[in-house]
């Protein structure tokens, strides 16, 4: 708490605005000695109370100190009364220089500056804090702080900005107190995390400018030593940003301490495996948590609460109160028995078990270790103590019998969560429609080295990475057309299915072509504006593979590219780990498309090759296609890299479906549609909006889901997906469509009475709509003709699915005649003049002058 300003805050919100100081002073009239008083304030802030003008009683003061108030400001009369009542003088700040005060450990309050020797004497050579409560401006505040005073100032007079003529900048006051003997004028800076880990992340350097920027922007900002004229905004390029919690300095005023909260999933060190700069290796296996002991357990449990797989032991603990309570009681009994046996090692072991389950109980209820430690600190600050006897029901009771909970093998549950909209809060409904978390920051850290490798090493990197990730040794990474017949060896039935599907897809996408080659509009007399479409020349189509066979993706991407007239269609798909060859169905589709090549690679490496090109891969202008998180991260990266000059189709996430069903829906149809998406992966999500369902109808849906899921080959994946999926019960179709539009599903299936009457009027956001019980999503995936490459994760609010226009660019042209120049010339010159673009104005003026148009 070495910040030289103590903000006087009228409210907890005012205190939070200046939490960087690590402390606050609030009026006695604004607080009551409530048990959870400090919970209103940021956990990093120490709270004192100003009772200097109040006749606070001993009971009131002690009550405040007992609930965690650090210090109370009082006058001399109150000081004497409170000390007599047993209040420790160190918990008081007094406006008096009486001998009784100076001989105690109380802090002092002055309203006028003291001379140097008196200040040194009153402060006991720096061992006693001296508060200054007189009037100040910016210059005098800095001078007084540099002399060693802590300035008590109302928050209304303060600002976090580097300078403000109307307010006092706390950052300027802070830096005024610092000293340095370094030739470059920088300050050695220790960076740590806050409670509960208090981890030292590393040592950096600060300047006055970087400290002011950090306070103003509330983030970790330091001084770059490589570029002395630049500030180092931590994480600006890497994403490893830091929230500034508070700022401190050491007793000699030459070392600064930043207390920061690193962004989740990131460390401080430039080496990705280290959380700190001290070679800890904490991030080698996972970026979910770091540190040691209880702090690491706290972080780990918080991650598992959000992401633990359904059916896992940890998820059971969070979901099953009875089980978790039983485990806490069991471990307490075992800890007691270990103590009775005088077994030191067993006591440590059983205490660790008890801490684990107790922390699980706390995290389950939204309580962090930092909050627990703060309450421990509050208890340690109590002035009065309880007698400490146990409650009668716990006295002389024998240890309970062992409470063992067997961890039987889990039977998969195919139950979806059920929420009744009429009984749920808006927050609960929003939570029900929230998709599973995507940890893009963790993925991107793994993807970037792959991107850099392929950029640098080209084909060589593709061959090496295919061997590493797909287990296939290749001589060349690209298969060029014409493709060998033996690589397209598929059954007649399969050929017929592909041919039929591609024909339907081609029909639907040809219908999307512009009706005229050039669309022209005369916008004003003699002004002709035109628009025409041209195909994107080189397109890269990513087709997932390896363990899956996905010719449908090749069809859905390649057919509209062919219809649009793209000159160079390149596929990318990893070879099968089992055969070492490309999926023959994909090669056959590539042949029918007239593709020029297939890149035999997957993941981020394939995307990079398509975006930047290699010795044998032509650089593409646009990349399209679904994939895992690595593929998505790589696509997002290359889209934002100006060196790549490559666009993508859309952001992608896990597959999803939303089914709206009413009392007329067939339960087997509904169940089959939900399960067709649930089997995609554990991060997929399915939502059922039930309109006016009876209990019997809902039960029939649940029975059909369980019955059909049990016989699926991927039933474990289905169970995990259904665990974070929801049945949301509503009363009206209007409410159902409102929630559907809010969710913006990839696939929307309408199994309701007269579904055609709701399309398109009620549909605002959806990737593709399947109308009626006989229109399963599977038809759109393969053969109906619509495209199955659709926006997921809510992006249907702003993106369309892949279509013919996806593979086109639209160019405009204008032809202005003499009549046209006369029509719009004056308007053009007027607008150019007001924007200060004289050359723009003149380009029209010279033409009008030559034509005599005035």
The mean pLDDT of the chain is 89
Q: How confident is the model at residue 285 (pLDDT cuts 50, 70, 90)?
A: low
**According to DSSP H, which parts of 148-240 are helical?**
170-176, 208-217
- Token pair, residue 741, equals 């539009």
Query: What pLDDT, in 10s, does the model give residues 428-486?
Result: 899 889 887 665 666 788 899 999 999 999 999 999 999 988 889 999 999 999 999 99
Query: What pLDDT, in 10s, does the model give residues 520-575?
Result: 999 999 999 999 999 999 999 999 875 556 899 999 999 999 999 999 999 999 99
Category of 565 on φ-ψ map: left (φ > 0), alpha (ψ -120 to 50) or beta: left
Q: Which residue has the tokens 């040691």?
A: 292
Return the bridge partners of 811, or none. 532
Q: How confident is the model at residue 726 (pLDDT cuts 50, 70, 90)?
A: very high
Taking the CB of residue 349, how many other CB atoms lie within 10 A of it? 14
Q: What is the SS3 assignment for 739-756? A: HHHHHCCCEEEEECCCHH
CA 366 to CA 654: how far, in whole Å? 28
* Of 226, 657, 190, nearest in space to 416 by CA: 657
- Token pair, residue 97, equals 């220089």
Return the bridge partners of 242, or none. 262
Question: What pLDDT is recorded for position 380?
Answer: 81
Cα distances (Å, whole numbers) of residue 11 to 23, 28, 42, 584:
13, 11, 12, 69
Report the DSSP pairing between strands 242-249 and 656-662. unpaired
* Of 588, 591, 534, nearest in space to 565 by CA: 534
- DSSP one-letter string for 486-536: GGG---HHHHHHHHHHHHHHHHHHHTTS-SSSEEEEEEETTEEEEEEEEE-
Is pLDDT above 90 for 411? no
Q: How confident is the model at residue 407 (pLDDT cuts 50, 70, 90)?
A: very low
- Give the pLDDT mean for 391-403: 49
Is pLDDT above 70 for 92? yes
Query: What pLDDT, in 10s, does the model give residues 333-362?
Result: 888 888 888 888 888 888 888 888 888 898
- Choosing from 282, 350, 656, 746, the catalytic residue is 746
| CB contact set of 44 (below 8 Å; sequence gap of 6+) | 19, 22, 194, 195, 245, 246, 259
SS3 state of residue 711: coil
- DSSP one-letter string for 541-597: EE---SS---HHHHHHHHHHHHHHT-SEEEEE-PPPTTTSS--HHHHHHHHHHT-SE
Is pLDDT above 80 for 408? no
pTM: 0.55
- Give the pLDDT mean for 622-647: 91
Sign of CA dihedral 735, 738, 743, 746: positive
> Distance from first CA to last CA of the chain, Å, rounded?
74
* Of 412, 320, 410, 418, nearest in space to 699 by CA: 418
Is pLDDT above 50 for 75? yes
Question: What pLDDT is recorded for position 291?
Answer: 65
CA 422 to CA 831: how far, in whole Å? 55
CA 508 to CA 803: how far, in whole Å? 9
**According to DSSP H, which parts of 594-694 are helical?**
603-612, 629-640, 667-678
Is there a contact between 731 and 691 (Cβ–Cβ < 8 Å)?
Answer: yes
Angle, helices 715-723/667-678, rounded to nearest 10 degrees: 100
Angle ∠(76,79,82) on CA atoms, nearest 5? 155
Taking the CB of residue 760, how many other CB atoms lie within 10 A of it? 8
Taking the CB of residue 43, how many other CB atoms lie within 10 A of it? 17
What phi and psi, each to the nearest 5 degrees, are found at residue 339? -70, -40
SS3 state of residue 249: strand
Is there a contact between 539 and 624 (Cβ–Cβ < 8 Å)?
Answer: yes
Question: What pLDDT is recorded for position 475?
Answer: 92
| CB contact set of 607 (below 8 Å; sequence gap of 6+) | 540, 542, 572, 623, 627, 631, 634, 635, 638
Query: What pLDDT, in 10s, does the model give residues 782-817?
Result: 999 999 999 998 999 999 999 999 999 999 999 999
Q: Does 427 participate in catalysis according to the annotation?
A: no
CA 630 to CA 639: how far, in whole Å? 14
Angle, helices 715-723/695-710, rounded to nearest 10 degrees: 150
Which contiguous run of DSSP H or E holds residue 81?
Answer: helix 76-84
CA 764 to CA 796: how far, in whole Å? 9
- Give the pLDDT mean for 1-13: 90
Query: What pLDDT, in 10s, does the model give residues 149-208?
Result: 999 999 999 999 998 999 999 999 999 999 999 999 999 999 999 988 888 999 999 999
Give the sheet arrangement for strand 808-816, strand by strand: 518-524, 527-535, 808-816
Is there a contact between 37 and 14 (Cβ–Cβ < 8 Å)?
Answer: no
- Give the pLDDT mean for 742-746: 96
Taking the CB of residue 4, how many other CB atoms lie within 10 A of it? 23
Angle ∠(776,432,673) on CA atoms, nearest 5? 10
**According to DSSP H, which parts of 198-241 are helical?**
208-217
CA 645 to CA 372: how far, in whole Å? 51
Taking the CB of residue 755, how many other CB atoms lie within 10 A of it? 19
Taking the CB of residue 811, how many other CB atoms lie within 10 A of it? 11
Question: What pLDDT is recorded for position 273?
Answer: 79
Taking the CB of residue 271, how many other CB atoms lie within 10 A of it? 12
Is pLDDT above 70 for 822? yes
CA 74 to CA 806: how far, in whole Å? 72
Is pLDDT above 70 for 385? no
Is pLDDT above 60 for 389? no
- Choosing from 509, 637, 747, 788, the catalytic residue is 747
Is pLDDT above 60 for 826? yes
Is pLDDT above 60 for 656? yes
Between residues 403 and 781, which one has the greater pLDDT?
781
Question: What pLDDT is recorded for position 402?
Answer: 41
Between residues 144 and 274, which one has the greater pLDDT?
144
Is there a contact between 726 and 418 (Cβ–Cβ < 8 Å)?
Answer: yes
- Token pair, residue 584, equals 């023959």
Largest CA distance in the chain: 112
Q: Does 747 participate in catalysis according to the annotation?
A: yes
């Amino acid at each position: 708490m070495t910040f030289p300003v103590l903000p006087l805050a009228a409210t907890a919100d005012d205190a939070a605005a200046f939490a960087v100081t690590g402390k606050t002073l609030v009026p006695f009239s604004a607080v009551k000695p409530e048990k959870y008083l400090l919970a209103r304030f940021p956990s990093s802030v120490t709270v004192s109370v100003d009772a200097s003008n109040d006749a606070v009683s001993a009971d009131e003061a002690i009550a405040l100190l007992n609930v965690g108030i650090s210090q109370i400001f009082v006058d001399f009369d109150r000081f004497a009364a409170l000390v007599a009542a047993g209040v420790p003088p160190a918990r008081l700040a007094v406006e008096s220089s009486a001998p009784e005060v100076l001989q105690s450990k109380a802090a002092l309050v002055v309203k006028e500056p003291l001379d140097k020797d008196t200040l040194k004497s009153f402060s006991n050579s720096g061992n006693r804090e001296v508060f200054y409560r007189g009037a100040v401006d910016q210059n005098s505040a800095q001078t007084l702080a540099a002399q060693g005073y802590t300035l008590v100032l109302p928050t209304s007079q303060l600002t976090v900005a580097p300078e403000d003529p109307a307010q006092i900048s706390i950052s300027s006051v802070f830096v005024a107190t610092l000293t340095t003997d370094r030739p470059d004028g920088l300050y050695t800076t220790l960076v740590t995390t806050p409670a509960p880990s208090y981890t030292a992340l590393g040592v950096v350097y600060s300047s006055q400018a970087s400290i002011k920027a950090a306070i103003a922007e509330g983030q970790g900002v330091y001084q770059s030593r490589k570029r002395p004229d630049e500030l180092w905004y931590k994480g600006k390029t890497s994403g490893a940003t830091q929230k500034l919690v508070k700022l401190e300095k050491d007793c000699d005023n030459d070392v600064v301490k930043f207390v920061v909260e690193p962004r989740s999933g990131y460390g401080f060190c430039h080496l990705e495996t280290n959380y700190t700069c001290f070679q800890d290796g904490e991030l080698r296996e996972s970026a979910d948590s770091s540190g040691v002991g209880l702090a690491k357990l706290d972080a780990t449990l918080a991650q598992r609460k959000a992401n633990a797989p359904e059916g896992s032991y940890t998820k059971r603990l969070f979901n099953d109160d009875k089980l978790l309570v039983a485990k806490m009681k069991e471990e307490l009994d075992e800890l007691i028995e270990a103590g009775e046996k005088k077994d030191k090692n067993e006591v440590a072991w059983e205490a660790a078990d008890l801490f684990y389950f107790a922390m699980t109980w706390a995290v389950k209820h939204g309580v962090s270790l930092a909050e627990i430690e703060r309450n421990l600190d509050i208890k340690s600050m109590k002035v009065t103590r309880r007698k400490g006897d146990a409650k009668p029901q716990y006295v002389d009771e024998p240890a309970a019998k062992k409470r063992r909970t067997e961890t039987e093998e889990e039977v998969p549950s195919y139950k979806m969560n059920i929420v009744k909209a009429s009984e749920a809060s808006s927050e609960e409904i929003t939570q029900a429609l929230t998709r599973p978390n995507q940890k893009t920051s963790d993925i991107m850290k793994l993807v970037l080295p792959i991107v850099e490798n392929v950029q640098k090493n080209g084909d060589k990197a593709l061959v090496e990475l295919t061997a590493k990730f797909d287990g296939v040794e290749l001589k060349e990474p690209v298969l060029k057309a014409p493709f060998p017949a033996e690589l397209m060896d598929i059954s007649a039935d399969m050929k017929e299915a592909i041919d039929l599907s591609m024909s339907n897809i081609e029909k639907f996408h040809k219908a999307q072509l512009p009706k005229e080659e050039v669309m022209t509009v005369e916008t004003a007399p003699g002004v002709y504006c035109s628009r025409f479409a041209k195909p994107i020349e080189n397109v890269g189509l990513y087709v997932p593979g390896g363990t899956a066979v996905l010719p449908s993706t090749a069809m859905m991407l390649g057919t509209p590219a062919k219809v649009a007239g793209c000159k160079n269609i390149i596929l990318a798909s990893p070879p099968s780990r089992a055969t070492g060859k490309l999926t023959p169905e994909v090669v056959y589709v590539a042949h029918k498309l007239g593709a020029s090549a297939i890149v035999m690679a997957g993941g981020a490496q394939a995307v990079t090759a398509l975006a930047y090109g290699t010795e044998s891969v032509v650089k593409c202008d646009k990349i399209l296609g679904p994939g895992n998180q690595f593929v998505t991260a790589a696509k997002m990266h290359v889209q934002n890299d100006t060196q790549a000059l490559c666009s993508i189709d859309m952001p992608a996430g896990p597959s999803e479906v939303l089914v709206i069903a009413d009392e007329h829906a067939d339960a087997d149809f509904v169940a089959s549609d939900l399960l067709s998406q649930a089997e995609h992966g554990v991060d997929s999500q399915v939502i059922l909006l039930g309109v006016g369902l009876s209990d019997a109808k809902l039960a029939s849906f649940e029975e059909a889901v369980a019955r059909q899921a049990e016989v699926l080959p991927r039933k474990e994946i289905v169970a995990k997906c259904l665990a974070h999926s929801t049945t949301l019960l509503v009363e009206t179709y209007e409410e159902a469509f409102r929630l559907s539009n809010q969710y913006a599903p990839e696939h929307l299936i309408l199994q309701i009475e007269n579904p055609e009457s709701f399309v398109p009027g009620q549909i605002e956001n959806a990737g593709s709509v399947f109308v009626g019980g006989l229109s399963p999503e599977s038809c759109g995936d393969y053969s109906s003709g619509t495209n199955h490459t659709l926006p997921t994760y809510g992006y249907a609010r702003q993106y369309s699915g892949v279509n013919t226009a996806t593979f086109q660019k639209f160019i405009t042209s204008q032809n202005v005649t003499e009549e046209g120049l006369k029509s719009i010339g004056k308007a053009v010159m007027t607008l150019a003049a007001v924007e200060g673009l004289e050359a723009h104005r003149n380009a029209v003026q010279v033409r009008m002058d030559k034509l005599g148009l005035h």
